[in-house]
Structure 1
């Protein structure tokens, strides 16, 4: 992992920040790798019960680093030798998947947040453009500043969303809105993003609001939270019979478990529950 991403864990909440503020947290190979590695590390940490994903400085993420974009187009430009070579390899075979995964590296930098068992809340301020927006769409919940600027920007460069964005846009906004945003690349502010389904709600201080929500989630049974995320993720993929069976399976696993019993006891004893981390 590099210094492209910082992580602080407190009270079961992982505060993850894109850490390239001088470049508005623009995406390069090192950022892709750091995001994927960070997500995979946190997913495997049973003490982490919720994640807040944000950007340092004036923006959440302004999208692809333009120097890397030049490398993708075949001109190494200002990209350092190692990064240029790695980016060129990715560009030459964009269909190559990460080992054992359904994603390439850029897609995994987003998909890791959706597939991890813990809830992820994106706190968006400033710009979330192109790949930066797609990273936010990988979260379970998005809290955005009213004046944030969000755009499916790829059409400006003659490209398409390629970091799992097409699936996320359809799921969140519906087909017609997803197409309008993708075909035009127009910028929407935080208020419109909420109306369209790109964001969950606005807050003047999105990071503080995200941390508050994460702490609330972290106070609930981690087994139930993980089970709920898994079920809600699969609801659009399973047929009804399989989804209903998965609900029953998950309930069967939870019912009578130590954390479920603790939730009931704490409620009736009017105290804060003391849950154990998943094994």
Structure 2
């Protein structure tokens, strides 16, 4: 097993599996882990052959949250996490969540064991969250006298009513997988989150990579904007897709003919 805090495996069909890899620390987040996640996402962003990303954790837990002792004991570590040039920019703590949304491919979080605090924030950066039956989830920051500040709140506000979001955030309540599903924190619950994530990934790579990128960008950037803006973006993205090679390939495949998709277009 590699000593890297994050491992990356890319299969021949373009499915990238990113694993948080500090099982001896329950995949708790220290500065080394934060930097490794950010750098891994940057490398994925440059690879237009990648079709889907699966995010998981090595060992019994997905991620138990911030390694409080490691981060809080060093003022320089806290500064590295929180520093930003402008208030509206993302800092390192926020990048490990927000950068997943910026990838032009679907990202699936396969959650097992504990997914607490910062771990849940990272999972909220994924497009889909599949929770294993044995998993537990918690917006746990208030337990440590903190508020969640890793960019997951922007996703939570789309998933649940404000009163429910405040209750879960203020109380640090621990949820079962089924409860998380009821609160819309996860997309599905399954006996094996990783198996289901791979199953979904295989289904997604049957579609044009340009369509997957276009849908993700259309929804993430325009979901709450005006109808007129949404209409304009729909039309523009459709024209862009029609001008690309993969739309013609998708038509051939739909007609039962052999064809392989090209690398996704630049978005």
Does TM-score exceed 0.5, indicating one fold? yes
SS at match of 1:53: strand
Q: 2:154 aligns with which of 167, 170, 174?
A: 167
| C-alpha contact (below 8 Å) 1:107/1:164 kept by paired residues | yes
Deviation at 1:238, TM superposition (A): 2.6
Structure 1 segment 21-170 matched on structure 2, within 5 A:
21-69=23-71, 71=72, 76=73, 84=74, 86-90=76-80, 94=82, 96-97=83-84, 102-170=89-157
TM-score scaled by structure 1?
A: 0.89
Q: Paired residue for 2:18?
A: 16
In 2, Cα distance between equivalents of 1:88 and 1:166: 20
In 2, Cα distance between equivalents of 1:129 and 1:88: 19
In 2, Cα distance between equivalents of 1:26 and 1:134: 12
Per-residue CA deviations over 1:238-270 (Å, capped at 9, x if unaligned) read 3221111000000011125311011112211x1
| C-alpha contact (below 8 Å) 1:147/1:191 kept by paired residues | no
In 2, Cα distance between equivalents of 1:43 and 1:98: 23
Q: Paired residue for 1:81?
A: none
| C-alpha contact (below 8 Å) 1:29/1:86 kept by paired residues | no
| C-alpha contact (below 8 Å) 2:209/2:264 kept by paired residues | yes
Q: 1:176 aligns with which of 163, 171, 177?
A: 163
What residue ranges of structure 2 are gaps of 5+ in the alignment? none
In 2, Cα distance between equivalents of 1:194 and 1:88: 33
Structure 1 segment 182-221 matched on structure 2, within 5 A:
182-221=169-208
Deviation at 1:57, TM superposition (A): 0.1
Tell me the matched-pair count.
262
SS at match of 1:224: helix
Q: Paired residue for 1:222?
A: 209
Per-residue CA deviations over 1:39-75 (Å, capped at 9, x if unaligned) read 1110110010100000000000000013224x2xxxx
Deviation at 1:225, TM superposition (A): 0.7
Q: Paired residue for 1:253?
A: 240
Per-residue CA deviations over 1:139-197 (Å, capped at 9, x if unaligned) read 00000012211000011111100101221211112212211100111000111111110
- RMSD (CA atoms): 1.8
| C-alpha contact (below 8 Å) 1:5/1:16 kept by paired residues | yes
Does the C-alpha gap of structure 1 residues 263 and 198 become closer, same or farther in structure 2, counting only changes over 3 Å? same
What residue ranges of structure 1 are gaps of 5+ in the alignment? 77-83
Per-residue CA deviations over 1:97-130 (Å, capped at 9, x if unaligned) read 279x821001001111011111100000000000
In 1, Cα distance between equivalents of 2:85 and 2:159: 26
Deviation at 1:235, TM superposition (A): 2.6
